[in-house]
Structure 1
Amino acid sequence: MVEKMERNTASDASMAPQTIERPRRNKYAFACTMLASMASILLGYDVAVMSGAALFIKDDLKLSDTKVEVLMGIINLYSLFGSTLAGRTSDWIGRRYTLIVAAVIFFVGALVMGLAPNYAILMIGRFVAGIGVGYALMIAPVYTAEVAPASCRGFLTSFPEVFINGGVLLGYISNFAFAKLPEHLSWRFMLGVGAVPPIFLAVGALAMPESPRWLVMQGRLGEARRVLAKTSDSEKESELRLSEIKEAAGIPEHCNDDVVQVSKRSHGEGVWKEMLIRPTPSVRRILIAAIGIHFFQQASGIDVAVLYSPTIFKKAGIKSKEGLLGATVAVGFTKTICILVATFFLDKIGRRPLLLSSSFGMIISLLGLGIGLTMVDHNPEKKLSWAIGLSIATVLSFVGSFSIGLGPLPWVYGPEILPLKLRAQGMSLAVAANRVTSGVIGMTFLSLSHAITIGGAFFLFAGIATLSWIFFYTFLPETRGRTLEEMEILFVKPRDKKKETITMLS
């Protein structure tokens, strides 16, 4: 106990981020995280391809606008089931095989959608694909965070958001490639081709090592030691990471056997009770932080800007299809470029500066967009060039501000702050909050804009973005350069540390 107190005291004393000498990138860890992040392509592809396929589905199956709207947005709610199940699955069969499960599920869903003879079967395929998306969204950042060394964890765990944009690009390419086919075939090919990315994901997952933290949870120390040796920046770091993981898993530090006996809780039993029923103060704050950052990522309205950008630009005054298409392409280009910028700066300037700057930029952009659209809406007979220009510019600045921080950071921050035993199922809750929020906003934006005007809707999103900035500033500590096993200490308040010290002394 005294040793643990001394260790905690030393950790407390070194809370301020320290200057870290940048080691060379670990190519093996880079390859592993690249393969795992391929899972995020599934969501990006499905969202983008359905935006084009829906035009053909509506005419071919004679669907109403309401059915089309539900078809486009419902996958976010369906993915809730997948993200909830994925935490338990990954604790039971491992992170690597959970990636394969995600690929298989999405493969089946894409085939069902591509071959669907009617709307009911199409919705069944959408449900299956949504479960696969939920699995992929939860497991990719968890695996990446557990494999990546601390020196470049931010860089590597931002990959899922980059790959989501890659999936969006593939979806648009698919729309363009099959648009000239007969109506009853075009949308089937668009959706059916979605079965191809899961094949590459499944094959890639077979070549990946298992997460070293999951291996330690199963008592397979020898395998974990070998994976850590390949994914760490040095032998000393490898030994330190193994020691910290063993401590977090409740395995004695002096135990050097290749295989040891572990309790059943290593398979995930009792986790829900520890997280939700009787959490410690630090676990409670960590869970609120992980869920909160995912909630605010979607509540700020980013899916509205991506899914409904043609509607927004049309409302702003752009009438020609060529103009709408060009403006929409500019949105995608801006989003992709800014995400790449964030990827290379996460480990250099830290999480908090990017997150707070991103949120502030979103607030200003949303206020500007609300003003521009309101002015256009109140002057339908006048062509207010400045208001049109302001609307276009602020949509671009909004997605750009989002992408430098709030876009990739939830997938970095959540997995790295959650304790080892709670990581998989804690992330499943965070991803569930993410998908539910996204689904609700995506499926209600048109109704909201009719009720309070489209400008009023963006003023509402600006208010939510302001709340997110306050939450990030007061609740989220900096985690750059910390090992995953140090994170829980960051969320312990001084009075809680004092109580813990008194308990140990007694």
Structure 2
Amino acid sequence: MNEEKISSRFIYFFGAFGGILFGYDIGVMTGALPFLEKDWNLYNSAGIVGWITSAVMFGAIFGGALAGQLADRLGRRKMILISAIIFAVFSVLSAIAPNNGSYYLIIMRIFLGLAVGAASALVPAYISELAPAAIRGRLSGLNQTMIVSGMLISYIVDYILKGLPNQIAWRLMLGFACIPAIILYLGVIKLPESPRYLIKDGRPDEAQKVMSYVRSSEGEINNEINQIKETAHKEQEAQKTSWSALFSGKYRYLVIAGVGVAAFQQFQGANAIFYYIPLIVQKATGQAATSTLMWPIIQGVILVIGSLVFMWIAENFNRRTLLMFAGTI
């Protein structure tokens, strides 16, 4: 770990920067898909188009599931670095797919999804383990802002590249995803490890030093270190607990609520707009999908503004009330 003090803003910014990767990859297919369809003549291959689009989310299922277990063994910081490397490598491999190599591209994007899933699981955990309780709502909003900002960046890149030949445009759109991955890697190299992981790994002195970057007083640092030690001790004692414990009376409603919110976020249909808005506009207006790439940018701007408004709302209203209200809309 570096001896010089690391700014808390730097830690929070790059701690949340993984959201840019997640958002870019969600958004980039919006613009790339119309060019890919033209280049590989996929107009009558809805199944292939669907798999190419959703392959990242399929890989993300496994990436998210594995990330937590590996992060407990290797550390949050190291796993984020590994995710950035995987993301950069498979972004480039996706961009150099052989002509009409649909199955190759699907496989590359599944591997890319491993990094996306890992980043989406690790970033909130890393931030929550570093952030003071008073600003955790704001920082969870920062992660969401990073995700939608990544989507907006991908929409802008798609729009800038739309004048290129079909066979080049979609490849550059996918390949440019390696740039935020490289930025994330360079930023995270300077980040400290999570104090929670350091304590579980038997390095309390390093954990205390990391806490000094993001806490203002010695008393606050010592109090939180003691809380982390106590929690780690309880977790160690409970290691033999079975999966069935998650569905016991004590935890059942928390699990149902947490999984339910995540599931219904996917089922409510917004992803269809995120991925296919140029094709939807093409069907509705008759315009070529490759010429309707301003629509995703408008969508991206609305998403970013909405996430910034959420950051203010999350700081001023009860979280439970917000969840109940949002669930009724």
TM-score by length of 1: 0.58
Closer/same/farther in 2, CA of residues 135 and 122 from structure 1, 3 Å limit: same
> Are 2:37 and 1:70 equivalent residues in the alignment?
no
Aligned residues of 1:155 and 1:347 also touching (Cα < 8 A): yes
> Are 2:90 and 1:109 equivalent residues in the alignment?
yes
Given the alignment, which residue of 213, 220, 227 partners 1:237? 220
Larger radius of gyration: 1
Please tell me the residue identity of whatever aligns with 2:128.
Answer: A
Corresponding residue for residue 303 of structure 1 = 271
CA distance in 2, matches of 1:325, 1:112: 25
CA distance in 1, matches of 2:133, 2:324: 22
Deviation of the 1:318 alpha carbon: 5.2
Aligned residues of 1:48 and 1:172 also touching (Cα < 8 A): yes
Corresponding residue for residue 202 of structure 2 = 219
Given the alignment, which residue of 8, 13, 16 partners 1:34? 13
Corresponding residue for residue 59 of structure 1 = 38
Given the alignment, which residue of 289, 296, 300 partners 2:257? 289
Corresponding residue for residue 96 of structure 1 = 77
Closer/same/farther in 2, CA of residues 55 and 311 from structure 1, 3 Å limit: closer
Q: Give deviations 1:154-207, integer Å, cap 9, x for gaps.
A: 101222211111111121122122222222222111111111111111111111
Given the alignment, which residue of 127, 131, 143 partners 1:144? 127
Deviation of the 1:232 alpha carbon: 1.8
> Are 2:115 and 1:132 equivalent residues in the alignment?
yes
CA distance in 2, matches of 1:193, 1:299: 29
CA distance in 1, matches of 2:40, 2:106: 13
CA distance in 2, matches of 1:324, 1:181: 15
Corresponding residue for residue 399 of structure 1 = none
Q: Give deviations 1:377-430, integer Å, cap 9, x for gaps.
A: xxxxxxxxxxxxxxxxxxxxxxxxxxxxxxxxxxxxxxxxxxxxxxxxxxxxxx
Q: Look up the SS of the partner of 2:37 in the other structure.
A: helix
Q: Look up the SS of the partner of 1:210 in the other structure.
A: coil
Aligned residues of 2:51 and 2:106 also touching (Cα < 8 A): no
Closer/same/farther in 2, CA of residues 108 and 162 from structure 1, 3 Å limit: same
> Are 2:26 and 1:47 equivalent residues in the alignment?
yes
Residue correspondence of structure 1 range 349-368 to structure 2 within 5 A = 349-360=317-328, 363=329
Please say which of residues 329-338 and 218-227 is displaced more in the overlay: 329-338
CA distance in 2, matches of 1:189, 1:39: 21
> Are 2:147 and 1:164 equivalent residues in the alignment?
yes
Deviation of the 1:311 alpha carbon: 5.7
Q: Give deviations 1:68-99, integer Å, cap 9, x for gaps.
A: 12211221112111111101110000000010
CA distance in 2, matches of 1:199, 1:314: 35
Please say which of residues 213-222 and 87-96 is displaced more in the overlay: 213-222
Q: Look up the SS of the partner of 1:226 in the other structure.
A: helix
Residue correspondence of structure 1 range 70-469 to structure 2 within 5 A = 70-117=51-98, 118-250=101-233, 271=239, 274=241, 276-279=243-246, 281-310=249-278, 328-360=296-328, 363=329
TM-score by length of 2: 0.87
Closer/same/farther in 2, CA of residues 75 and 41 from structure 1, 3 Å limit: same
Deviation of the 1:66 alpha carbon: 2.4
Please tell me the residue identity of whatever aligns with 1:296.
Answer: F
Aligned residues of 1:86 and 1:138 also touching (Cα < 8 A): yes
Q: Give deviations 1:309-364, integer Å, cap 9, x for gaps.
A: 4566677x65667996565443322221111011123122221233233333xx3x
Deviation of the 1:304 alpha carbon: 2.8
Aligned residues of 1:112 and 1:121 also touching (Cα < 8 A): no
Deviation of the 1:239 alpha carbon: 1.7
Percent sequence identity is 32
Aligned positions, number: 318
Aligned residues of 2:39 and 2:166 also touching (Cα < 8 A): yes
CA distance in 1, matches of 2:34, 2:183: 28
